[in-house]
Amino acid sequence: MPRYYTRACNFYYGTKSKTFVKKKKSLPLNGNHEISFDKVEVISRKTKKIISVNKIANLPAEIKKKVKQDINIITKNKKKFQNLDFKSIPVLMGVLNITPDSFSDGGKFNQNSLAKKQMNYLFESGAQLVDIGGESTRPGSKAVSSIVEWNRIKNILKNIDKKKIISLDTRKSNIMKKGIDLGVKLINDVSGLSYDKNTFNILKKYKIAFVLQHSLGTPDVMQKNPKYKNVLLDIYDFFEEKINFLRGIGINHNNIFLDPGIGFGKNLKHNMTIIKNISIYHSLGLPILLGISRKKFIKELSNKNDSSSRIGGTISSSIFAMMQGVQMLRVHDVNEVNQSIKVFRELIK
């Protein structure tokens, strides 16, 4: 029998969502009545079909069983961790790159005073956590040594406010350990935990929250003709296999974000397929993180209307992701994205 996947779709938000849930016309995402859905797309590697949730009973027995199991996962309440409240989504993760060569803000915050000022600004603008990185992983970038990476970020980490949630963007287990010892509360490894095998030991020992990101290859080669059989389902299977592996080695907590890795071994078509169908990953039962801020797909779609900040493209894709129930957005321009979300919420009340 083919493998089937369930994607929640046709979402409602705000007052309309609350009304529909109350009247049992839609199902709440993660128990949150602020966002709900009334259709699902049942997908295999050869077929896909959108049906109303009230028509699920008409499906063939085996497919119906799978879809019902997935819906139970999709609608189940999300628990808080690190004081992140998923009842008010999306949570905003601010980006702070302390590097000379990151694709967007490289070199801007290399000085400790500038980095600290930017971190404070991101929190003041509405970031609930800030992701600090000392190594660029943009397409074509080369790895730097642990010594270089640590020297870039150590001063800012040594002075972080322990009440704030700091995420550490690193692929190296020794950097992770040093960061955790200084109060880092989330690990964001863009390699999908594959760069440094000792990472598993660190995650298990400290029981720390982390991001599981999909990436096809290392940054220096990942954009050289990336290929998939089915990018959406290949990434789903990657997540599922990795989660099962983590459970098998004793990492049993659910404080894990799933990030499909926009731009990490994906061309424009791949990126668009993922963003348009991002809600498929809700059936894995873990919150979704999406990094779309200032990325190349915005340039590829906007052509002559591209800009250095790409705020327009970032905001439009952020609102779209919000309407698909994405729990966290990783963005550079926290203030502007937060502004757009606040206005949007009022408009759909």
C-beta separation of 332 from 109 below 8 A: no
Report the pLDDT value the prediction gives residue 110, as an integer from 0 to 100. Answer: 65
Phi and psi torsions of 214, nearest 5° = -90, 135
Rounded mean pLDDT of 266-288? 97
Peptide bond between residue 139 and the one before it cis (omega within 30 degrees of 0): no
User: Which domains, ranges and CATH numbers included, belong to the chain?
Assistant: 5-75 (no CATH), 91-347 (3.20.20.20)
Report the pLDDT value the prediction gives residue 99, as an integer from 0 to 100. Answer: 83
The amino acid at 194? S
Report the pLDDT value the prediction gives residue 225, as an integer from 0 to 100. Answer: 83
Active-site residue set: 295, 330
pTM: 0.94
Give the CA radius of gyration of the chain: 20
Residues 77-113: pLDDT tens digits?
988 877 888 888 899 999 999 987 555 555 566 677 8
**3-class secondary structure for 2-59?**
CCCEEEEEEEEECHHHHHHHHCCCCEEECCEEEEEEEEEEEECCCCEEEEEHHHHHHC
Q: Which two structure tokens, joined as six digits, stand for 245?
A: 């592996």
Report the pLDDT value the prediction gives residue 108, as an integer from 0 to 100. Answer: 64
Q: Which two structure tokens, joined as six digits, stand for 38?
A: 């009334």
Strand order in the sheet with 129-133: 256-259, 209-213, 186-189, 166-169, 129-133, 91-97, 328-331, 289-290
Reply yes or no on whether the pLDDT at 194 is more than 90: yes
Phi and psi torsions of 238, nearest 5° = -60, -50
Rounded mean pLDDT of 49-71? 97
Mean pLDDT of the chain: 93
Confidence of residue 252 (pLDDT cuts 50, 70, 90): very high
Report the pLDDT value the prediction gives residue 309, as an integer from 0 to 100. Answer: 92
Residue 164 DSSP SS3: coil
Q: Which two structure tokens, joined as six digits, stand for 293?
A: 């801020």
